[in-house]
Amino acid sequence: MSRRVASAPAIAAPLGGCAGIQSALAPRGTEAQEIGALFWTVTGVSAAVTILVLVVTAIALRGPDGWCRVLATDRMVVGGGIVLPVVVLSILLVYGLLVMQVGAARSRDAEGLGVTITGKRWWWQVVYEDRDGREIVSANELRLPVGRPVAIRLETDDVIHSFWAPQLGGKLDMIPGRSNTLTLEATEAGVSRAQCAEYCGGAHALMSMYVVALEPDAYEAWLAAEAAPASEPASEPARRGMALFLQNGCGACHAVRGTEADGTIGPDLTHVGGRLSLGAAALPNDADAFARWIADNQHVKPGNLMPPYRNLSRDELAAIAAYLEGLD
């Protein structure tokens, strides 16, 4: 059984029917829950004030003369037009500041090892740091332990991007020359979806990723496996695919640890078969999708930096796809 299936038992259901997988109204993280509570509080207060204004307006237009005279007094104008807005907005301001302060305290307690996500054209490089100080390079998928605040360092190699995982927290920009930090704490195991929330070029809408929250023990086991080099191809088609992968120069752009492939231009493919998607959530992760991406990736994601390999035969594409699918 592949790690793609075994490490995240809650994956199948959300991916089968994606309703809510990127909804800020279905929080699965502490920060998102606080943002949700603030949203509903502000929405409720706004609705109450709107109803109050409509009622007062209706009374002023159609109500008894006595009520109209009361509404026209200076005391009512000052109370309803100055005092009430100041009181309501002050309460909301204090509440918002308290929520922000709680988030700041959680940031100080965030797990020190952390994760660095770098926005690229148009994909995400994800680098984990383990307890031994080693950097574990992955791409286009973020995995987090449940119940632990994790510091996510956000950087960019080119233009401004913005990382937003609505079910886990708020969005934060990735600005050239800067390193911003976003703290996320998942409250339950499962899969959610993140999106680049700042227009960054032609394929901006196709720059997404899945975020997988795992129980702490499962996360540690996954991280240890992710740090290992790629497994040897288990079948003859996969072995042929590995040879074709190297012969066609794929290793000049992509790294597969444990092989001659050591490129840094494109995503690290050491464990690409264990991820939930290809092309930054543009395609599902299966052999057909690998073959389609290799042969016609510009149609899938126009403007990405990988050239299409239309010179490969169908059998050669199938062999390379078998090799990459087995890298879990």
Question: Which of 108, 143, 172 is the last residue before a domain boundary?
Answer: 108
Please check whether residues 183 and 223 belong to one and the same domain. Answer: yes
Q: Is the pLDDT of residue 85 over 60?
A: yes
Question: Which of 77, 108, 139 is the last residue before a domain boundary?
Answer: 108
Please check whether residues 117 and 216 belong to one and the same domain. Answer: yes
Long-range contacts of 22-27 (CB under 8 A, 24+ apart): 22/166, 22/167, 22/192, 22/193, 22/194, 22/195, 23/166, 23/167, 24/166, 24/167, 26/167, 27/167, 27/168, 27/187
d(CA 11, CA 212): 8
Q: Is the pLDDT of residue 15 over 80?
A: no
Q: Domain for residue 12, yes or no?
A: no
Q: What is the pLDDT of residue 107?
A: 64
Q: Domain for residue 25, yes or no?
A: no
Cβ atoms within 10 A of the Cβ of 58, count? 10
Write out pLDDT tens, residues 253-274: 999 999 999 999 999 999 999 9
Please check whether residues 221 and 242 belong to one and the same domain. Answer: no
Domain range for 80 is 30-108
Q: Domain for residue 291, yes or no?
A: yes
Q: Domain for residue 14, yes or no?
A: no
Residue 191 DSSP SS3? strand
d(CA 94, CA 41): 12
Question: Which of 172, 206, 227 is the last residue before a domain boundary?
Answer: 227
Write out pLDDT tens, residues 213-235: 999 999 999 999 999 999 999 89
d(CA 133, CA 18): 36
Please state the domain count of the chain.
Answer: 3
Tokens of 48: 């109450």
Percent of the chain beyond pLDDT 70?
Answer: 91
Q: Domain for residue 8, yes or no?
A: no
- This prediction has a pTM of 0.84
Q: Is the pLDDT of residue 9 over 80?
A: no
Q: What is the pLDDT of residue 6?
A: 47
d(CA 207, CA 282): 8
CATH number at residue 312: 2.60.40.420
Q: Domain for residue 7, yes or no?
A: no
The average pLDDT across 62-79 equals 86
Mean pLDDT estimate for the chain: 89
